[in-house]
Chains A and B, each alone.
Chain A
Amino acid sequence: MTGAPPEDPPGPVPAAAVHALRGVSKNFGGVRALVDVDLDVHDHEVLAVVGDNGAGKSTLAGVIAGAYRPDAGRLLLDGAPVVLGSPGEARTRGIAAVFQDLALCDNLDVVENLFLGHESTRGALLDEVTMERQAWELLGQLGATVPSVRQPVRTLSGGQRQVVAVARALLGSPRVVVFDEPTASLGIRQTAEVLNLVERLRERGHAVVLISHQATDLQAVADRFVVLRLGRVGGEFDARAVGYEDLLAAMTGAALPTDRKSSR
């Protein structure tokens, strides 16, 4: 690991990284989930992280979003080192995450879910009108087709629930949005909705980190690929130039990680 980054990203990536990981490692007991991982996340870009089961994908999502604290290595926000103690702290710094389980409350309606923990108030009362209006506005921007914001979340479809979870992550307009396995267990229509959503987030200038093992879904929207294999970065690719076979080879270790930037 070298010192502070005068980093030179490969290819035509202009802006400096919003969020960067340098030499990050994370162990769970004897299991080395992440080993010396470097990662750059840029504005207006979809970064896809692929890997086999147990490659460390979800751990990486956790580290980026402040759910796990790395055992070694540093996190840099806009080039300045930070320590993210909790997902809440990450949120205040502009990093939001949607995890695999969505963490929605099934018995509450859409508005209650969106504003749970940070409700708008007017005096001692909840400002339901403002919250409902904001909810519609947000869902509208995401092109969501939720029938009513006063419907309990358990009555919504998989894709709609995903949209609600995303909408909640977007409150307070974060700069980085992390998705962990967003299309797992969704039907094809909902998968289509989620992929459209990711495209829209990118257009709005967010940095999006997509974590999944479904390379075909990711290829549809990604700008850049990072392949994780056994906790290490097994390759970094430009999405326009990489084929499905190349990704598969890097995921399984059939191809050695030769494309890594060697200029560090």
Chain B
Amino acid sequence: MSAVQQRGSLTQIELAGVTGLSPATVSNIVKELTSAGVLHTSPSTRSGRRALQVTLARNLGLVAGVHFGTRSLRVALADASMQVLADQRMPLAPDHRADTGLRRAALLVAEMVESLDARPEELLAVGVGVPAPVDVRSGRIATVGMLRGWDGVAVTDVLAEELGTPVTVDNDANLGALAETRFGAAAGHDAVAYLRVSHGVGGGLVLGGRLVHGRAGVAGEIGHVTIDENGPICRCGNRGCLETFVGAPVLLGMLASSHGHLTLRDVIARAQEGDAGCRRVLFDAGQHLGVAAANLCNLVDPEIVVVGGQLAEAGEILLGPMRTVVEQRTVPSTAGPVEVVASRLGAAAEVRGALAVALDTAGVSGSLGVTV
């Protein structure tokens, strides 16, 4: 059951391989669960042979994933087999407020459920990612000043009241880390470090398949690792944080006098077209990221470092210099240098992670009809 849930859909033969059960046993279990209405099978072919595709039945309900970025909101709906059924992005104002943002998210979720011809009760759980440290036990934003207008907001309570479903909140980079570990570039790796480099910089750590939250959700906040003790003051109140070197306002500010008003996407596009100034900005950002990532690697020694967020779309222009610095600054290992790769899920990583925790919540609370 959990094998099907984690992979979305797979054939009966693959299911046997994954669970280590014999094909006949799997076939019996699948038959039983299909008649109980938990699984859904459809004929398909796999390497030219007839096979039975196994998915969770749609009538088990829906889950929603919500990702608040610094400048955008993304909402996705999936069924119990992690099949994404609807996905919608929406730009948000700079310094958007918690009250209007959460209300918009709730409205968007409700309208999207309706657009799938589903009833509101079919929504089993909602996972939410926000770009600030979150105390996952209380569902509150755990810091002050990191996300203006959201300090101390109890995201869980507000959304749960609007939507009438269980809500799980986590830091967006944590959710990205979880998604890349389960479905993306870090699948099959243990000890995964994920860096989300967008308007701000966040990070997430997955050890033994579980997210590391720390005492109150600040674990993995790599954006606030000190790069320069005498550097500029950061929005968090410290000096010389990684974010004061690679945050979007800083990168765009460096280009303002020569290139005018640009967005991050403009910078990436121009760098790929060969604009020297934009390339230089991304090159330097890669080096700074490398310094912070190397420190992290020396502490945690992850198998893989995944770089996500909008800046990762720059590809090797950013990752090349980052990799070089990481290699230089980590303790040489007989296992060779740590792998540094771009996110595979791209901009969808965080929302996929939000869907995954929503599904976990639904499974735990028993709404799926079975405990997984």
A residues near B (Cβ < 8 Å) are 11-15, 45, 187-189, 191-192, 195-196, 199, 203, 216, 219-221, 223, 239-240, 243-244
Contacts and interface: CB of A to CB of B under 8 A. Distances in A.
Interface string B240-272: 000000000000000011011101011001000
Nearest to A238: B261
Given A187-B111, A239-B94, A244-B93, 16 more contacts: A12-B257, A12-B260, A15-B260, A45-B261, A188-B104, A188-B111, A189-B88, A189-B108, A196-B89, A203-B265, A216-B100, A219-B93, A219-B94, A221-B91, A223-B261, A244-B97
Contacts of A45: 261
Contacts of B85: none
Interface string B22-59: 00000000000000000000000000000000000000
Interface of B: 71, 88-97, 100, 104, 107-108, 111-112, 115, 256-257, 259-261, 263, 265-266, 269
14 contacts: A12-B256, A13-B260, A15-B260, A45-B261, A188-B90, A192-B88, A192-B89, A196-B89, A203-B269, A219-B93, A220-B90, A220-B91, A221-B91, A243-B95
Nearest to A189: B111
Nearest to A11: B261
B161 to A, nearest CB: 18
Nearest to A239: B94
A199 B97 CA distance: 21
A13 B265 CA distance: 18
A189 B259 CA distance: 34
Main secondary structure of the interface of A (DSSP, over half): helix
Nearest to B108: A188
Contacts of A192: 88-90, 108
A189 B112 contact: yes
Contacts of B260: 12-15
Contact of A13 (B93, B97, B257, B261): B261
A216 B266 CA distance: 24
Contacts of A15: 260
A189 B261 contact: no
Contacts of B269: 203
B90 A195 contact: yes
Contacts of B111: 187-189
A244 B259 CA distance: 28
A64 to B, nearest CB: 21
Nearest to B109: A188
A154 B59 CA distance: 32
A45 B89 CA distance: 21
A219 B91 CA distance: 9
B93 A220 contact: yes
B91 A196 contact: yes
A11 to B, nearest CB: 8
A188 B115 CA distance: 12
Given A188-B104, A188-B107, A216-B100, A196 B90 contact: yes
Contact of B266 (A187, A203, A240, A244): A203
